[in-house]
Amino acid sequence: MRKIAVYVNFMNERYRRQLEEAASRLGFSLDCYDCPRDSGALAEKIGDYEVVYGHPEAALLKEATRLRWLCSDFAGVEGYLPSEVWPRPDCLLSNSSGAYGPAISEHIVMVLLMLLRRMPEYQAALARGQWPCYTPIRSVTGSHVVLLGTGDIGSHAARRLKALGARVTGVCRGGRSAEPAFDQVLPVSRLENALPQADALVLALPATAETRGILSRERLALLPPTAYVVNVGRGSAIDQDALVEALQGGRLAGAALDVMTPEPLPADHPLRTCPNTILTPHVSGNMALGLTCDLDVELFLRELERYARGEPLANLVDRTRGY
């Protein structure tokens, strides 16, 4: 019988029933492994599975001799891009782009408001027993937010920021988006034109060869000193040393980083003490939000229907492009 392994960290009875019902209807048997507790059990049986849904260690894939399709429950899949990790070159890789939009876009709205309203300063002063009033603070209404990355996360963020009164510029490879919440969408080649006009730059990009260091020292210097930087994609997108220097030197107003290099960030890393900097430990889109898990399972079930019918996967990753 054709076999599916599920290896995620958010299983519950409802998801298990949904997954088993669909698998059985489509002619598969399905085994659930708890991530990371059952990593050993999965490793023993990995050779049995045609389909894996979840995020097994990349090093395990070589043993997955029957594998035809890995559906990652994450949106970022950089660990699975090298051709050496796969048992055969024709294995399909798909991601869960579409599950993270609500969770991560709410994080973006939250940290942007915290930066504009100077919460890092208020919280630090209150912790010292003070009772301060800082002026000025700023509003999302009327702010110009540049979203680098116009995929699922960027589009969800654009809708929410637009509803709150921001002007939203999207920047992406193709310079086009079907999402109407963007006031304008520019190709990456015009990023330099957008940066000097930004009140905030939000990076929502996958980790690919093209996005590595995309916010370079030179581009950081094009942002006005009143601008904030928010990163919810991957730490590799930013020249982090240049960011630290800009924050320390007051050449940027602040930053909110959910991703950084390395993770976890060492206790003595200079980012930890940069002024007006909000750090979160890579949790903006993790599986702590029930809605994200619901969407993730739904996405896999829709892909499984397509796979069983021999149709193309909607979230197929181009392993050379990286997303």
Active site residues: 234, 263, 282
Q: Which is nearer to a second copy, 129 or 312 (CB)?
A: 129
Stretch that binds a second copy, among 219-227, 239-247, 260-268, 307-315 (CB under 8 A): 260-268
What is the helix (H) or strand (E) element at residue 34, kind and residue range?
strand 28-34
Q: Which is nearer to a second copy, 265 or 316 (CB)?
A: 265
Residue 145 pairs in a beta bridge with 168, 200
Q: Give the C-alpha separation, 106 to 195, whole Å.
A: 23
Place of tokens 């991530």: 35
What is the helix (H) or strand (E) element at residue 123, kind and residue range?
helix 119-127
In eight-state DSSP terms, residue 183 is S
Residue 94's alpha-carbon distances to 44, 73, 206, 300, 321, in angstroms, are: 23, 9, 14, 9, 13
**List 27, 264, 310, 312, residue binding a second copy (CB under 8 A):** 264
* Site for a second copy contains 137 (CB under 8 A): yes
| Min dist. Cβ of residue 136 to a second copy (A) | 5
**List 4, 33, 78, 138, residue binding a second copy (CB under 8 A):** 138
**List 126, 209, 221, 314, residue binding a second copy (CB under 8 A):** 126
* Site for a second copy contains 55 (CB under 8 A): no
Evaluate whether 112 touches 230 at the Cβ level (below 8 Å). Answer: yes
Q: Would you put residue 50 in left (φ > 0), alpha (ψ -120 to 50) or beta?
A: alpha
| Min dist. Cβ of residue 312 to a second copy (A) | 30
Instruction: Look at residue 136 and give its three-state secondary structure.
Output: coil
Residue from 153, 191, 188, 184 nearest 172 by CA: 188
* Site for a second copy contains 298 (CB under 8 A): no
Q: Which x/- pattern over 149-188 shows residues binding a second copy (rule: CB under 8 A)?
A: -----------x--xxx-----------------------
Residues sharing a CB contact under 8 Å with residue 28, sequence separation 6 or more, in sequence order:
1, 2, 3, 4, 50, 51, 304, 308
Q: Which is nearer to a second copy, 38 or 106 (CB)?
A: 106
Stretch that binds a second copy, among 19-27, 35-43, 113-121, 243-251 (CB under 8 A): 113-121
Stretch that binds a second copy, among 16-24, 32-40, 66-74, 107-115 (CB under 8 A): 107-115
Residues of this chain that bind a second copy (CB under 8 A): 102-103, 106-107, 109-110, 113-114, 116-117, 119, 122-123, 126, 129, 131-142, 160, 163-165, 263-265, 267, 272, 279-281, 283, 286-291
